[in-house]
Structure 1
């Protein structure tokens, strides 16, 4: 007999991940129903395109703001809003899978606030890196840079555990290496925009910020600074 309460076969997802998932898929379902003519009437067919133009991240607008020193709110919102609008259902589906899988592990290890912070900051930094490196007319849309930030946080967790076990910490980067390799192959075979630049920016942000937002992370950094 055990005094512990009964636990289900599947551990519940962190609420912040559930909220992000339903927000992303709620938007996608709205576009889908509009394209099928189920809601919104004839005008609903263009909802997705209108949303991509209104909320997508444009490198051209990014550089216009830098060159003119003007940062209107309707364009600043694009640094985050692009992560919630996707090109099609398949795009949304893959982002959702990554969000649930990596968000669960990172959320359980770091907590809700830190996980949300990583998601948001990775989206923003991924857009900045994309704008600086790619430029041009190709827009950035979809949540890959944000979920790659969660991959970065998960990589940090693996990196830390491998170090504690005395094993090669470089193995922690196997997942990101595999994913970027797949993207490179698909890009060479089928072409497409260089979204992977934003993904790398998101991953690097998630990995590096984990040193601070992980449990006890900031205290460890302060201790090392004091020792120096």
Structure 2
């Protein structure tokens, strides 16, 4: 195919998506190099574990904060730091690939500011729901709740588009249905924790927030409420 003069061979990714991806990859590169002794010396082997303990989101700690009324900054930081700490290179790699794919679609439609708003709000919402519902001392790490929020944003935009062209709008939920089905299968075959609680929470937050953030969304919602 002939390329238009001056046109980039690959569509550029939204800057905010690139920044988030580099943060995830950068942290993982440091952990991987430290574990292999390339940087940091002997103590670097424990960097990942130390980061999980310090920056992972703990359901037990979350409930403790509400029971005692002590909302310390270092504990509240976990609400937004856990998406950048992963359990392994593979965990981070899958998160990075999904972030690029979903982030590109959402970022091009909503813009950088709204995209980062969906990412952060979904991470926060997923963590809060996880903290309330997850049993015992469950630990939440990884970017998937925030990525599921981007899936929620994409689902709502697809739902709107299908409605505009007269197609069956339930088709918009095919992606989240497939992902949750695969997650269930892997959980049954290999075991798994309660992370799915945060993933669903992130999806719901992303979907709901995009109702307002999508261009014309606030006016559309206001009109619906008035008609009711």
Q: TM-score, normalised by structure 1?
A: 0.96
Residues 144-170 of structure 1 show CA distances to partners (whole Å, capped at 9, x for unaligned) of 000000000011111011111111111
Residues 111-159 of structure 1 show CA distances to partners (whole Å, capped at 9, x for unaligned) of 1000000000000100111111113112000000000000000111110
Residues 50-77 of structure 1 show CA distances to partners (whole Å, capped at 9, x for unaligned) of 0000000000000001111221111001
Provide the residue aligned with 1:187 in structure 2. Answer: 187
Provide the residue aligned with 2:206 in structure 1. Answer: 206
Matched, 1:148 2:148: yes
Residues 16-39 of structure 1 show CA distances to partners (whole Å, capped at 9, x for unaligned) of 000000011000000000000000
Gaps of 5+ in 1: none
Provide the residue aligned with 1:71 in structure 2. Answer: 71
Matched, 1:87 2:68: no
Pairing 1:30-179 to 2, within 5 Å after superposition: 30-179=30-179
Provide the residue aligned with 2:225 in structure 1. Answer: 225
- In the TM superposition, residue 225 of structure 1 has moved relative to its aligned partner by 3.5
SS in 1 for 2:207: helix
- In the TM superposition, residue 227 of structure 1 has moved relative to its aligned partner by 4.4
- Partners of 1:84 and 1:184 lie apart in 2 by 24
- Partners of 2:215 and 2:47 lie apart in 1 by 42
- Partners of 1:188 and 1:136 lie apart in 2 by 20
Q: How many residues align?
A: 225
- In the TM superposition, residue 12 of structure 1 has moved relative to its aligned partner by 0.2
SS in 1 for 2:11: coil
Gaps of 5+ in 2: none
- Partners of 2:220 and 2:9 lie apart in 1 by 35
- In the TM superposition, residue 226 of structure 1 has moved relative to its aligned partner by 4.2
Matched, 1:197 2:200: no
SS in 1 for 2:137: coil
- Partners of 1:194 and 1:70 lie apart in 2 by 25
SS in 2 for 1:119: helix
Q: TM-score, normalised by structure 2?
A: 0.96
Aligned residues: CA RMSD: 1.2
SS in 2 for 1:70: coil
